[in-house]
Amino acid sequence: MDNRSRGKIIKVSGPLVIAKGMRDAEMYDVVEVSDKKLIGEIIEMHGDEASIQVYEETAGLGPGEEVVSRGSPLSVELGPGLISGIFDGIQRPLDKLVETEGSNITRGAFAYALDREQEWEFEAELEPGATVIGGDVLGIVQETVLLAHRIMVPPNLSGKIIELKSGRYKVTDTIGLLEDDKGVRHELSLMQKWPVRIGRPYKEKVSPAEPLITGQRIIDTFFPVAKGGTAAVPGPFGSGKTVIQHQLAKWAEADVVVYIGCGERGNEMTDVLNEFPRLDDPKTGEPLMKRTILIANTSDMPVAAREASIYTGITIAEYFRDMGYSVSIMADSTSRWAEALREMSGRLEEMPGEEGYPTYLGSRLANFYERAGMVRCQGSDDRLGVLTAIGAVSPPGGDLSDPVAQSTLRIVQVFWSLDSALAYRRHFPAINWLTSYSLYSDKIDRWMNENVTPRWSTLRQDALKLLQEESELEEIVRLIGHDALSDGDRLKLEAARSLREDFLHQNSFDEIDTFTSLEKQHRMLELLMTWYYEATKALANGVQYHKLEEMPVRDELARLKMVPEDRIVDRAAELNAQMTRELSALNLGGR
Amino acid sequence: MAREYRTIEEVAGPLMLVRGVENVKFDELAEIELPNGEVRHCKVLEIDGTDALVQLFESSIGINVDESKVRFLGRGQELAVSRDLLGRVFDGMGRPIDGGPALIPEAMRDINGTPINPAARDYPNEFIQTGVSAIDGLNTLVRGQKLPIFSASGLPHNMLAAQIARQAQVLNTEDEFAVVFAAMGITFEESDFFISDFRNTGAIERAVMFINLADDPAIERISTPRMALTAAEYLAFDLEMHVLVLMTDITYYAEALREISAARKEVPGRRGYPGYLYTDLASLYERAGRIKGNRGSITLVPILTMPDEDKTHPIPDLTGYITEGQVILSRELLRKGLRPPVDVLPSLSRLKDKGIGTGKTRADHADTMNQLFAAYSRGKDAKELEIILGAEALSEVDRIYAKFSDEFEERYVSQGFTTNRTIEETLNLGWELLSILPKNELKRIRDSFIEQYYIEQREG
């Protein structure tokens, strides 16, 4: 047992501790610092001196105190009990710490990530004698109503099952035995461990082509993200980054959602903790919390653990992906993570790159986002697993030339550009339709044409074009006033305004408006655009502009977003008929 | 028994290097005794083998490298707390300066505090009535929120802060209320304004003040807000009071931080501020909040003056990323004669949605708030257009919006620093103003509320 490397502290500088006598330790080993047992990680070795980033407040540490290596890198526990949990950056269960330590986080606090006492009902799906490879599903634990937790053979094991029994087990109990090719027997349990800085293996990556439906109109319709894709939401403060992240965590079509609050506000995590158990998943009607895992490293918690929280989160997400689920991970905010990186880099006295950020910022970010994707999972059944990564970026002053924003934009495929001008006008979500983009839109257009309506890509293109034309016309209006516009241009402006206010504007705090199905999005867009197409024709036909603007049906169109999902098809048909009636009356008599 | 060292090697700016020390811990507090017997304080910033790098809290004038003695105290910086904090005035290091006796401590608290476990937090959702319409009606403050005032030199942020401190009340409760005030680097006159305002209104009885003035050592400013928050935490979470913390001016605090960072030759971030400015500010702001199972709360209103009124300057920028909104004051509105000159459009309270509505303020609050924002914004656009193109270019509706926006500024925002409006008054005033607009323009308000509250204009 005690071949663990032991050293002594020689230097303490904030979260960085340097210890001597650590020659036997390995890079990225986890260490316990001083008799307070503060958790740290070795990030540099110089001879027998190890530089350690400590995940807890280091006040009161001094030279001479002992540092003991655990002999393994920073790892997370993976098994039943993760869902609905809230963990800190190094996977300590925060709800359990409240019970043992009280309302504040004390140093050296410890609790197992997975409850060691809780028993789970395991149902074996394989018989003894079966030959398995890493990733094969041994059986199921129904962890919550929403999630069957597939217990898998650990990635690096294969061989023959000697023993496997259904029953009630704790996570550390042996559920069976596996004999590998060399005849060595391995105990199987409900829990696995995996080092956070190494991506979990899969067979191959598959190019994503299906949309991740989020129920947010501007996202699904105009700037969709694919299942297994990557997206970034940069924006200045107050532009609604966190609300968008919360909306996606709530409504995105995923089996499991991992939400990382990385260096952000404590109250936001509390909000999620309060709200998610009360919100129902639109598909299953079960509380959303039953598919959610929270990683909370708020801005006042130690900065080094903030660096780790991103990795902890994505490793947990990969684990559920490996089961063949669709997993979404939201990281709010990657800028805070980058700042943690910068702070450690500064303490290590590394040569800084741009804005003091370390030169490896770009590669670390790429590393994180590349762990997303649609993959063929390990195991004999060739199941597909999906991991979609969405990161918030908080550029200083909203300036996108910031190194974190720039490095992120080089990697991600979807960019939702938040605009403070829209936020001031209380247009939410404040995603700017002129500057945002999605590199998945062509593929997803095809999917939408096949699955929603063949007219999808036409509607979408026309709507985007209309918005583009609006911005050009507004320039003109600003210079020479409304009166100078032709009726055709006025119609465009009016149609675009209606598109903005009645379609793009979406109230996340309204019970109905907060989520819009693809079907409803299609109906809304179709009706709004139909008015535009038909009104253009009518105008050419000689109908006066103001009559078109004042058509009674338009007030009804503005209220479409408040129509409940189950009534939308009928309502859309009614309004379509009403519009046709009003238009033909105008076309006949309005000249 | 603490050992004394006479091994000061160098003193540079606020930093001092002491050699040959033993058993010294990171972040430990120390005392320096000058040859004339004067004692000053410092703390350990870095400990490297037997070298301790310490940061002085006071000036380095008179420190003699050979003859000054350093004693390490074996503990971090602490504040003595008890109920008797109320009504007292301290300096930036927590020493009484009101001529009163030293505090008999109930407990000694480490001023750095410990982070609140997010799982133990209770979400802020109780409405605080500040009596200021621009805040109550549009950017509602709730208990446990951190809502800074973004201001600039020459703007009346102090008047507004004092008004909030004086008028703030939570409706329908008899819980105890206290104000903690931290002054960092402000002038004597500014601090005197607060002290006399508190004294005149009797608020001083329920207030604790920590005062670090512009001519006090800049480095003390690092401790001042932590002292104040430690006192606030004691009052809020030990004595279960509702504490409003006012901190002014965060800009000077950040500058002190930059001074130390520069002296340590750290790699600077934007505009020379240290890369950890965000983390450091968060370690202050995040101490606000509520805790489950505890009646008390800390509501934090930091004030900062934006250099050159630039919201993208690192101090307001990073603050905005941590706090739950911001109240922005505008020089343009001040010039127009608005008191307080709150620029409501870029101002924001992120927690307002949970603190308003039925049972908290009034059912129509959310709708009218959105409508007022939208209408004011449209009115301002119209006025801008008017400047460029003349009044004739405006449509009939735009002219009404322009009128609305003028009246809105004059009557709703500009209420003066002594008017205390109830939320009912604020909401009714909102309806009076909205009734300037034609009924069918009120698209963000549910019909039932329009029926109930809209005031029909008489023709002509």
Query: Global pTM?
Result: 0.91
pLDDT above 90 covers a percentage of chain B that reads 71
What's the residue count for chain A? 591
Report which of A93, A69, A279 is spatially closest to residue A171, judged by C-alpha positions.
A93
For the segment B126-142, what is each residue's pLDDT rounded down to a tens digit?
Answer: 999 999 999 999 999 99
Q: How high is the pLDDT of residue B304?
A: 95
Which band of pLDDT confidence, cut at 50, 70 and 90, is reported for residue B275?
A: confident
pLDDT at A58 over 70: yes
**Average pLDDT, whole number, for chain B?**
91
Query: Cis ω on the peptide bond leading into residue B340 (within 30° of 0)?
Result: yes
Residue B297: beta bridge partners?
B242, B290
3-state helix, strand, coil in chain A (%, to 5): 40, 25, 35
pLDDT above 70 covers a percentage of chain A that reads 99
Output phi, psi for B317, to 5 deg. Answer: -60, -50
Judge whether A579 and A534 are in contact, CB under 8 Å.
Answer: yes
Per-position b or e across B327-359, b if 16+ CB within 10 A of its CB? bbbbeebbeeebbbbbbbbbbbbbbbbbbbbee
For the segment A520-565, what is each residue's pLDDT rounded down to a tens digit?
Answer: 999 999 999 999 999 999 999 999 999 999 999 998 999 899 999 9
Pairing of strands A384-393, A373-376: antiparallel
Which band of pLDDT confidence, cut at 50, 70 and 90, is reported for residue B153?
A: very high
Best of A17, A94, A246, A265 to substitute, by most chain B Cβ atoms within 10 angstroms, is A265
Arithmetic mean of pLDDT, A284-303: 90
pLDDT at A483 over 80: no
B48/A270 CB distance under 8 A: no
Of B119-128, B146-155, B385-394, where does mean pLDDT reach its minimum? Answer: B385-394
For the segment A213-267, what is each residue's pLDDT rounded down to a tens digit?
Answer: 999 999 999 999 999 999 999 988 888 888 899 899 989 999 999 999 998 899 9
Judge whether A159 and A178 are in contact, CB under 8 Å.
Answer: yes
* Rg of chain A in Å (alpha carbons): 28
DSSP string, A522-563: HHHHHHHHHHHHHHHHHHHTT--HHHHHT-THHHHHHTGGGS
- Minimal C-alpha gap between A374 and chain B (Å): 32
Arithmetic mean of pLDDT, A291-308: 90
pLDDT at A313 over 90: yes
- Minimal C-alpha gap between A480 and chain B (Å): 7
B115/A300 CB distance under 8 A: yes
Q: How high is the pLDDT of residue B343?
A: 95
Q: Name which of A10, A62, A274 is nearest B123 (Cβ-Cβ).
A: A274
Q: How high is the pLDDT of residue B353?
A: 86
For the segment B159-210, what is each residue's pLDDT rounded down to a tens digit?
Answer: 999 999 989 888 777 888 899 999 999 999 999 999 999 999 888 899 999 9
**Average pLDDT, whole number, for chain A?**
92
Arithmetic mean of pLDDT, B113-135: 93
Q: What angle do CA A409, A372, A96 make, to 5 degrees?
A: 110
Q: Cβ contacts of residue B413 below 8 Å, gap of 6+? A: B133, B134, B333, B338, B340, B341, B342, B344
Q: Name which of A61, A399, A482 is nearest B395 (Cβ-Cβ).
A: A482
pLDDT at B460 over 60: no
A59/B26 CB distance under 8 A: yes
B312/A352 CB distance under 8 A: no
Q: Cβ contacts of residue B161 below 8 Å, gap of 6+? A: B149, B194, B246, B248, B301, B303
pLDDT at A346 over 80: yes
Which residues 337-376 in chain B show a CB within 8 A of chain A?
A: 345-346, 348, 350-351, 353, 366, 370, 373-374
Cα–Cα distance for residue pair B58/B78, rounded to 1 Å:
16
Which band of pLDDT confidence, cut at 50, 70 and 90, is reported for residue A1?
A: very low
- Minimal C-alpha gap between A267 and chain B (Å): 6
pLDDT at B1 over 70: no
For the segment A421-446, what is each residue's pLDDT rounded down to a tens digit?
Answer: 888 778 889 999 999 999 999 999 99
Q: How high is the pLDDT of residue B7?
A: 93
Q: How high is the pLDDT of residue B266?
A: 84
Q: Which residues of B touch A269 (CB under 8 A)?
A: 118-119, 121
Best of B19, B24, B117, B351 to substitute, by most chain A Cβ atoms within 10 angstroms, is B117
Report which of A370, A311, A367, A299 is spatially closest to residue A339, judged by C-alpha positions.
A299
Cα–Cα distance for residue pair B89/B123, rounded to 1 Å:
31
Which band of pLDDT confidence, cut at 50, 70 and 90, is reported for residue A3?
A: low
pLDDT above 70 covers a percentage of chain B that reads 99
Arithmetic mean of pLDDT, A480-488: 83
Q: How high is the pLDDT of residue B447?
A: 87
A300/B286 CB distance under 8 A: yes
Q: What burial class does residue A522 get, using C-beta atoms within 10 Å of its C-beta: 0-12 exposed, 13-18 middle, 19+ buried?
A: buried
Cα–Cα distance for residue pair B304/B306, rounded to 1 Å:
6
Which band of pLDDT confidence, cut at 50, 70 and 90, is reported for residue A591?
A: very low
B119/A95 CB distance under 8 A: yes
Q: How high is the pLDDT of residue B169?
A: 85
For the segment A139-193, what is each residue's pLDDT rounded down to a tens digit?
Answer: 999 999 889 999 999 999 999 999 999 999 999 999 999 999 999 999 999 999 9
User: Is B392 an interface residue toward A (CB < 8 Å)?
Assistant: no
Within 10 angstroms of residue A193's Cβ, the number of other Cβ atoms is: 12
Give the residue on A whose Cα is nearest the Cα of B27. A59
Which residues 224-283 in chain B show a CB within 8 A of chain A?
A: 237, 266-270, 275-276, 278-279, 282-283
pLDDT at A513 over 70: yes
B267/A352 CB distance under 8 A: yes
B26/A62 CB distance under 8 A: yes
Q: What burial class does residue A192 get, using C-beta atoms within 10 Å of its C-beta: 0-12 exposed, 13-18 middle, 19+ buried?
A: buried
pLDDT at A367 over 50: yes
Which band of pLDDT confidence, cut at 50, 70 and 90, is reported for residue B2?
A: low
Q: How high is the pLDDT of residue B458?
A: 60
pLDDT at A17 over 80: yes
- Minimal C-alpha gap between B60 and chain A (Å): 23
- H-helix segments, B201-357: 220-233, 250-263, 277-285, 314-322, 331-335, 352-355
Q: How high is the pLDDT of residue A423?
A: 86
Query: Cis ω on the peptide bond leading into residue B307 (within 30° of 0)?
Result: no
Q: How high is the pLDDT of residue A2?
A: 54
